[in-house]
Amino acid sequence: MYTSAVFNHIYGRFMLHTLSQLRSGELAGISQLKLSENLNTFPLEILTLADSLEILDLSNNALSSLPDELAQLTKLKIIFASQNQFEHLPEVLGQLPNLEMVGFKSNQIKQVAEHSLPAQLRWLILTDNLIETLPNSLGERPRLQKLALAGNQLTHLPQTLAQAHNLELVRISANKLTECPEQLLNLPNLAWFAFAGNPFTAVEPTTHSESYTKVKSVPELSSTSYTLENVLGQGASGVISKAHWNSPQSQFPEDIAVKVFKGEITSDGYPQDELQACLQVGYHPNLVESLAQVNEDNYLALIMTLIPENYQNLGLPPCFNSCTRDTFSQGFRLPITLISNIVSQMQDVFAHLHKNQVCHGDLYAHNTLFDSQGNIIFGDFGAATSYQMLTPAQQEKVKNIESKALNHFIDDLLSICAEQDKTTKAFDTLKAHISA
């Protein structure tokens, strides 16, 4: 979709501070601190904020350890330390009584100690590290809702995750898992699941599926066939720009957008898996249509139809408090007629995805655009997984997982229903559907 990534949405709200401000006492009493000054040691002056600090962002530094004194920050709820040089998850984190969110993306973490996970953990981000195993304590954190582990070296997951009954979103793409983790498939609240790019998802010549889904064939073009214009948006996996053809293309529409994928791995997995899923899904009137692909050395791109300007975002990404659930602009309301129309289209999209054996993994309002008539366009396949290689029983479980995301989508829309429409039959019908 032509929108910012979830984490960009979160990080963008933080003001960048300086070490000199901290040392001068200028930041006394603040609840949020963000420092990025190529730090290689933890500034102990941060401890002077122990009475107020709730969010600490030390991303984009050169840190490799945290001091035991960090345990003095008893009010700390959130810590980010992405893009640093940690080789293990600091055990001191497990001593913080109110810590709920831990983000150590893109380090060199190899070890996660049994006692490094705080008791109140809700949201763990360890994307793009070198982790081979995880401790059993991960499944013993009853509040855990969100788990981002894409881009590691995991060969298995703790069996204790079977008791993580509040877990709602999991990213395990781009690892080395040889078997589908059954302990996740049976979780009662799992709704958003990304698992592409593992050995167990490789398509074998013989498959458990009786009707193997073939990937849609689209032309392969050169990157010189178009010129990128203004950026329309960017997410975890790439940058989407408006573009124009450098010469007339009779078989394609004149107005196009191009998604240029970032690097070898993203927050959700491998770009190649996203491209595979997009093409496997094929055409649907409510999906962004794939027209062609570009596959050159160090350059992977997808050429798509350009979404008309009269479409706008239906929702906003989750916030810290909502964790897994979408948010909406303050005061944003929709009539039940529009909500019913949107839901009907999304239900049809859901059926189309799973008919083609693709789990979207990110079925959210913030990945949906709509116009004034309630027509929708759904996109962002960064977390999508082709699942035709799974057994029929596993495929059914994957579909059931995503059906929970669809129910949450409906529930979120009902939360922004116009007040006068909450007593209508249409409202009751949708409410009954998600309660069934």
Cα–Cα distance measured from residue 262 to residue 272, given in angstroms and rounded to the nearest whole number: 11
Q: What is the DSSP letter of 159?
A: G
Q: Are 236 and 5 in contact (CB under 8 A)?
A: yes
Cα separation of the two ends of the chain: 31
Q: What is the DSSP letter of 217?
A: P
Cα–Cα distance measured from residue 64 to residue 261, given in angstroms and rounded to the nearest whole number: 30
Cα–Cα distance measured from residue 82 to residue 60, given in angstroms and rounded to the nearest whole number: 6
Q: Which two tokens stand for residue 227?
A: 């010129």
Largest CA distance in the chain: 69
Question: 431: annotated binding-site residue?
Answer: no
Tokens 């995750």 label which residue?
A: 161
List the one residue out of 291, 287, 285 whose CA is nearest residue 303. Answer: 291
List the one residue out of 296, 292, 278, 303 whose CA is nearest residue 219. Answer: 292
DSSP 329-383: -TT--B-HHHHHHHHHHHHHHHHHHHHTTEE-S---GGGEEE-TT--EEE---TT
Residues 6+ apart with CB under 8 A from 272: 197, 300
Q: Is 76 exposed, middle or buried (0-12, 13-18, 19+ CB in 10 A)?
A: buried
Cite the annotated binding site by residue number. 259
Cite the annotated binding site for ATP by residue number. 259
